[in-house]
Amino acid sequence: MSVEYIRQPQTTLIVDAKPEFAWEVPNSASKQTAYQIIVASTRDLIAENDGNVWDSGKVPSQQSINVEFEGKSLEEGSTYFWKVKTWDTNDTESSFSEFQSFTIGKEEGFITSANIFQIDSIKPTVFKQMSFDSYFIDFGKAAFATLAFAYESTINDTLVVHIGEQLVDGKINRDPQKTIRYQKVEVVISPEKTQYLLKIEPDKRNTKPRAVQLPDSFPVLLPFRYVEIEGVNGELKADDFTQLFYHGYWEDKASYFTSSDSTLNAIWDLCKYSIKATTFAGLYVDGDRERIPYEADAYLNQLSHYTTDREFAMARQTIEYFMEHPTWPTEWQLHVALMFHADYMYTGNTELIEKYYEELKHKTLMELRGADGLISSDNATPKFMKKLGFTNPKDKLKDIVDWPPAQKDTGWKLATAAGERDGFVFKPINTVVNSLYYRNLEIMAEFAKVLNKADEAEELNQLALKVKQSINDKLFNPEAGAYIDGIGTNHSSLHANMMALAFDIVPEANKNSVADFVKSRGMACSVYGSQYLLEAMYKANESEYALGLMTATHDRSWYNMIKIGSTITLEAWDMKYKPNADWNHAWGATPANIIPRYLWGIKPKTPGYESVAIKPQLGDLTSSAIVVPTLRGQIKVAYSLLPDDSKYYVIEIPSNMSGEFDLGEEGYTKLTLNDMELDNNHQVIQLQSGKNMLKTQ
């Protein structure tokens, strides 16, 4: 159960006076046919099933999410209690659920209710004495945290505490590279005190006005894993030390993944934990260096948050934040509509679309188009920048393609002369920007239809088709079989081609040559670009190549992040590719969403997961199991390659959800579903809620 997508609504304030309710239909019912919600003003009344604030009565409906409150006006500051019961296809009535309480707060700008923060108390995994007066502690993983400890002394004294993210030769690196975190803190000890909280000094850069400020109740947080204590007078115990790990609301058991590839499993664990660890600010931020929300970072974070936990409030609040706080890269503006669309597909909710539709049209940059439909950031005037939310008349859009750029732009001594852009040649009209723009138009056409703007939807669809045609007419080089970077250059980069593939721009006749070009470039992009590279490869049915990219062990890989000692994904593949990279950047956690959404191919087919589409592309894995969270319950799928080369799948779909299983390119001679043989014409198998057992031979 949830109120406004908050699973524990009693712990926060609900700012929508007409909140949406959601619940999981009992497993005993494959499908809901009716529901009844009651809302009461007291605990006693809800216990008596008296909905004095709202009693919906029996409502014939399959709807179990986004059920909007329709009772008496809810008053700010008041607490209410609700519960629900359902009827199944046999008209069998369930008992009422346990009740939840929620309190109405004041709407202050955002229409999205914020979830709570949590503090985990982490105990050491390694605790050892290094000398007569010094100790070393390893908490197992880095976290945005502070240190609490117990210490008794009979004299006034001083302890020296070192905390950091990185080890060198078994000790904390006290002179780390750029933004790898380390701090030395002196703690004054007195006989009258036995409990201490480390007073970490705030960082000058990530506390600037543009940074997201932490709640006043929080201490200063620093991402650290290791602690060294010096000047100890006596003996310390491991249990005396606690890493206080601050993060957003999180349920570890909401998602799960394992496979026959141990490297892939380790990468999943790294990326899933990275999403949890970086929720400390309440909004999606870029990492610890700036603590500023950026649109592209946030979109990747959002996708991975949805696939690792059933949490939507942070993404929704971040979306609202961006409507007033834009950042300068052209492509970043084009990620805002992608965030709206992901929210719509995973929640089925249209409130954000309804509120921001007109403003969101500006974010698509369609006003910058020329006669051929293609856009250029050069066309952005100060007046238009104001429409995007920029307040400084000097603000300008700048195409970014990928990050970091080449040495000639930054002076950094990077390992590759082209930086992370694969030698991309910037032109006023380029393929990367216009590929994102094309997808924005598709999304806005869909939103116009949702809002019953039929004429506008048709206009947007026609504009999208025009843009797609112009990209293929003007930006594809038939001799090379690949897309050029922009009008006015013959250079083709990984980025131009992977974006065209990822956004379904490439005609069927050209897919093989474009995919071959993409494969010829390897991982010639950043951790951000890897999102679209992997999406492109799965859309081109290059599953084994994509799996190889995710499990690679060279220095441009997720394995390298683990190898160099990080437990949260890096901002870049390695410090030599970005010398000031954070060791705590969620945009590096791409596999956390690619594994569920593409390797397993589990996505909402319809908004709010009323129906799920499953199209696995498991490469050479011989076994795998996954659990994906949704508002309606967990989707659970397992796969085994049997000794006779048969493939066996067990697919569990929550009640009140249907599904389809797409065999894709997989060939077979015999197909059985729940031990019943199907004819050989089935490529897409219809699934019902409950357990489905599928076998191909």
Instruction: Give pLDDT tens digits for 57-90.
Output: 999 999 999 999 999 999 999 999 999 999 999 9
Residue 37 has pLDDT above 90, yes or no: yes
Nearest to 492 by CA among 470, 513, 468: 513
Say yes or no: 98 and 176 in one domain: no
State the pLDDT confidence band at 415, using cuts at 50, 70 and 90: very low
How do strand 658-662 and strand 611-614 relate by DSSP bridges?
Answer: parallel
Say yes or no: 419 and 483 in one domain: yes
| Mean pLDDT, rounded, for 356-380 | 98
pLDDT of amino acid 406 = 67
State the pLDDT confidence band at 131, using cuts at 50, 70 and 90: very high
Q: Can you tell me the distance from the alpha carbon of 639 to that of 617, in angstroms, rounded to the nearest whole number?
A: 11
pLDDT per residue over 551-561, tens digit each?
A: 999 999 999 99
Q: Can you tell me the distance from the alpha carbon of 19 to that of 3, in angstroms, rounded to the nearest whole number?
A: 7
Q: Directed axis angle between helix 313-322 and helix 336-347, to 10°?
A: 150
C-alpha distance from residue 247 to each of 183, 230, 565, 585, 667 (Å): 21, 29, 21, 14, 45
* Alpha-carbon Rg for the chain in angstroms: 27
pLDDT per residue over 611-622, tens digit each?
A: 999 999 999 999
Tell me whether residue 570 is in a domain.
Answer: no
Say yes or no: 365 and 384 in one domain: yes
The answer to whether residues 684 and 662 touch, using CB atoms and an 8 Å cutoff, is yes
Maximum Cα–Cα distance for the chain, whole Å?
84
State the pLDDT confidence band at 29, using cuts at 50, 70 and 90: confident
Structure tokens given for 313: 């409030």
Q: Can you tell me the distance from the alpha carbon of 122 to that of 106, in angstroms, rounded to the nearest whole number?
A: 35
Q: What is the mean pLDDT of the chain?
A: 95
State the pLDDT confidence band at 410, using cuts at 50, 70 and 90: very low
Say yes or no: 73 and 164 in one domain: no
- In 421-556, where does DSSP find H-type helix? 431-450, 454-474, 494-502, 511-520, 529-539, 543-550
529-555 exposure pattern, b = at least 16 Cβ within 10 A, e = fewer: bbbbbbbbbbbbebbebbbebbbbeeb
Length of the chain: 697
Say yes or no: 340 and 414 in one domain: yes
pLDDT of amino acid 116 = 95
Q: Pick the last residue of a domain from 90, 108, 126.
A: 108
| Mean pLDDT, rounded, for 467-483 | 98
Q: Pick the last residue of a domain from 502, 517, 541.
A: 541
Q: Can you tell me the distance from the alpha carbon of 403 to that of 390, in angstroms, rounded to the nearest whole number?
A: 22
Tell me whether residue 549 is in a domain.
Answer: no
Say yes or no: 482 and 402 in one domain: yes
Q: Can you tell me the distance from the alpha carbon of 123 to that of 235, in angstroms, rounded to the nearest whole number?
A: 18
Give the angle 15-20-25 at the CA atoms, nearest 5°: 145
C-alpha distance from residue 381 to each of 228, 248, 294, 322, 376 (Å): 54, 39, 22, 20, 11
- Check which CATH number belongs to the domain holding 494 and give it: 1.50.10.10
- In 348-430, where does DSSP find H-type helix? 351-363, 382-388, 407-410
| Mean pLDDT, rounded, for 455-471 | 98
Q: Residue 13 pairs with which residues in a beta bridge?
A: 103
Say yes or no: 344 and 235 in one domain: no
- Check which CATH number belongs to the domain holding 28 and give it: 2.60.40.10
Which residues, in sequence order, are CB contacts of 278 under 8 Å at separation 6+? Answer: 144, 284, 285, 287, 301, 568, 584, 585, 586
| Mean pLDDT, rounded, for 186-197 | 96
Say yes or no: 291 and 339 in one domain: yes
| Number of folded domains that form the chain | 4
Tell me whether residue 189 is in a domain.
Answer: yes
Tell me whether residue 133 is in a domain.
Answer: yes
Q: Can you tell me the distance from the alpha carbon of 496 to that of 518, in angstroms, rounded to the nearest whole number?
A: 9
Nearest to 553 by CA among 562, 544, 542: 562
pLDDT of amino acid 590 = 98
The answer to whether residues 541 and 664 touch, using CB atoms and an 8 Å cutoff, is yes
Q: Pick the last residue of a domain from 84, 108, 132.
A: 108
Quote the domain boundaries for residue 21. 2-108
Say yes or no: 471 and 612 in one domain: no
pLDDT of amino acid 409 = 45
- Check which CATH number belongs to the domain holding 194 and give it: 2.60.120.260
Residue 412 has pLDDT above 90, yes or no: no
pLDDT per residue over 271-320, tens digit each?
A: 999 999 999 999 999 999 999 999 999 999 999 999 999 999 999 999 99
Put residue 78 in one of left, alpha, beta given phi > 0 → left and psi -120 to 50 → alpha: beta
Say yes or no: 212 and 351 in one domain: no
The answer to whether residues 471 and 500 touch, using CB atoms and an 8 Å cutoff, is yes
Q: Can you tell me the distance from the alpha carbon of 400 to that of 643, in angstroms, rounded to the nearest whole number?
A: 49
Tell me whether residue 17 is in a domain.
Answer: yes
- Check which CATH number belongs to the domain holding 687 and give it: 2.60.420.10
pTM of the model: 0.96
Say yes or no: 640 and 510 in one domain: no
Tell me whether residue 563 is in a domain.
Answer: no
In percent, the amount of the chain with pLDDT more than 90 equals 92
pLDDT per residue over 485-539, tens digit each?
A: 999 999 999 999 999 999 999 999 999 999 999 999 999 999 999 999 999 999 9
Tell me whether residue 174 is in a domain.
Answer: yes
State the pLDDT confidence band at 418, using cuts at 50, 70 and 90: low
Tell me whether residue 399 is in a domain.
Answer: yes
Say yes or no: 145 and 222 in one domain: yes
Burial of 391 (0-12, 13-18, 19+ CB in 10 A): exposed
Q: Can you tell me the distance from the alpha carbon of 539 to that of 498, in angstroms, rounded to the nearest whole number?
A: 10
Q: Which helix (H) or strand (E) holds 162?
A: strand 157-164
405-409, 447-451, 479-483: lowest mean pLDDT where? 405-409
